[in-house]
């Protein structure tokens, strides 16, 4: 498929995990991908994967929590190219209930997971509005809509991402801008492996199996599965879809009753 031929896509957090798979999928379908990541080496690694497969991509170091930094980088891109697709994937996690969440923890998650999405939207949406065209995909979570133990700060931020999606979709539908989000359950990424290694070094396999089985389907998702849904929602095939949240969670939300 070449659903993104002659189009550009900007993906935050594109250096690893789900973001890396999204970048590769969009590039494979013809997009020139701007890979944003706080780690230059990670962003460049994604670019190399894309280029080795015959695609086009450019790496940028970007802290999405830095409003002025985001504005400067995005303005530079927009001076020479349009941004057809924005994927707000960058995010960080935290484990803990209210009492186990310090003010510093809370502020850190808000700055990346909420303000980071705001900063990217503020930098990109005006240009999409002027062109009367654009597709935005925000990375929400099952934690946006159901209670999950020991995820106080994370759930707070992902709930905000969900409602920001609804707000942007409503405010800009008349300008040809679509805005949706996906809500993954547990996905097997390097983050999961590191979490298990750090916290359960003696029974890693047992805990991996336990976490996998919290999805009724019996396993974790893969980054490529998330990327496939993202690609559809950002493509013209989804031209009639906006203001929607798409669970991709192995039945976690609806079947864990």
pLDDT for 180 equals 99
CA dihedral over 124, 163, 233, 56, signed as positive or negative: positive
For the annotated catalytic residues, the residue numbers are 154
What mean pLDDT comes out for the span 100-108? Answer: 98
The H or E element spanning position 87 is: strand 85-88
Instruction: Summarize pLDDT for 176-202 with one digit per residue, the tens.
Output: 999 999 999 999 998 889 889 988 999
What is the Cα–Cα distance from 217 to 50, expressed in whole angstroms? 31
Backbone phi, psi, residue 74, to 5°: -65, -40
Kind of pairing between the strands at 32-37 and 134-139: unpaired
For the beta carbon of residue 130, count every other beta carbon within 10 angstroms. 12
pLDDT over 90, % of the chain? 95
What is the Cα–Cα distance from 36 to 73, expressed in whole angstroms? 10
Is the predicted pLDDT of residue 63 greater than 80, yes or no? yes
What is the Cα–Cα distance from 257 to 254, expressed in whole angstroms? 7
Is the predicted pLDDT of residue 235 greater than 90, yes or no? yes
What mean pLDDT comes out for the span 67-96? Answer: 97
Q: What is the CA radius of gyration of the chain?
A: 18
The H or E element spanning position 136 is: strand 134-139
pLDDT for 257 equals 64
Backbone phi, psi, residue 95, to 5°: -105, 125
In the predicted model, what is the mean pLDDT of the chain?
97
DSSP label of 218: S
Half-sphere CA count of 246, side-chain side, radius 13 A = 22
pTM to 2 decimal places:
0.96
pLDDT for 256 equals 84
What is the Cα–Cα distance from 60 to 171, expressed in whole angstroms? 29
Instruction: Summarize pLDDT for 142-176 with one digit per residue, the tens.
Output: 999 999 999 999 999 999 999 999 999 999 999 99
Map out the domains of the chain with their CATH numbers.
8-185+222-248 (3.40.50.720), 186-220 (no CATH)
What mean pLDDT comes out for the span 222-246? Answer: 98
Q: Please classify residue 120 by burial: count the beta carbons closer than 10 Å to its beta carbon, then call 0-12 exposed, 13-18 middle and 19+ buried.
A: buried
């Amino acid at each position: 498929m070449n659903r993104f031929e002659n189009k550009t896509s900007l993906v935050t957090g594109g250096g690893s995990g789900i973001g890396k798979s999204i970048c590769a999928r969009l590039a494979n379908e013809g997009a020139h991908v701007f890979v944003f990541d706080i780690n230059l080496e990670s962003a460049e690694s994604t670019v190399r994967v894309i280029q080795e497969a015959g695609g086009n991509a450019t790496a940028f170091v970007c802290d999405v929590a830095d409003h002025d930094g985001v504005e400067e980088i995005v303005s530079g891109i927009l001076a020479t190219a349009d941004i057809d697709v924005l994927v707000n994937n960058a995010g960080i996690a935290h484990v803990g209930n209210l009492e186990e969440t310090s003010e510093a923890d809370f502020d850190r998650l808000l700055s990346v997971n909420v303000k980071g999405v705001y900063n990217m939207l503020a930098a990109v949406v005006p240009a999409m509005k002027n062109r009367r065209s654009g597709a935005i995909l925000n990375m929400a979570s099952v934690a946006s809509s159901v209670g999950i133990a020991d995820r106080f700060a994370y759930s707070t931020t992902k709930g905000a991402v969900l409602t920001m999606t609804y707000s942007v979709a409503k405010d800009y539908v008349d300008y040809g801008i679509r805005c949706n989000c996906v809500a993954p359950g547990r996905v097997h990424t390097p983050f999961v492996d590191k979490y298990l290694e750090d916290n359960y070094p003696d029974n890693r396999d047992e805990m991996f199996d336990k976490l996998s089985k919290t999805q009724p389907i019996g396993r974790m998702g893969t980054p490529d599965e998330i990327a496939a849904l993202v690609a559809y929602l950002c493509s013209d095939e989804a031209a009639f879809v906006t203001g929607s949240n798409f669970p991709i969670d192995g039945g976690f939300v609806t079947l864990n009753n």
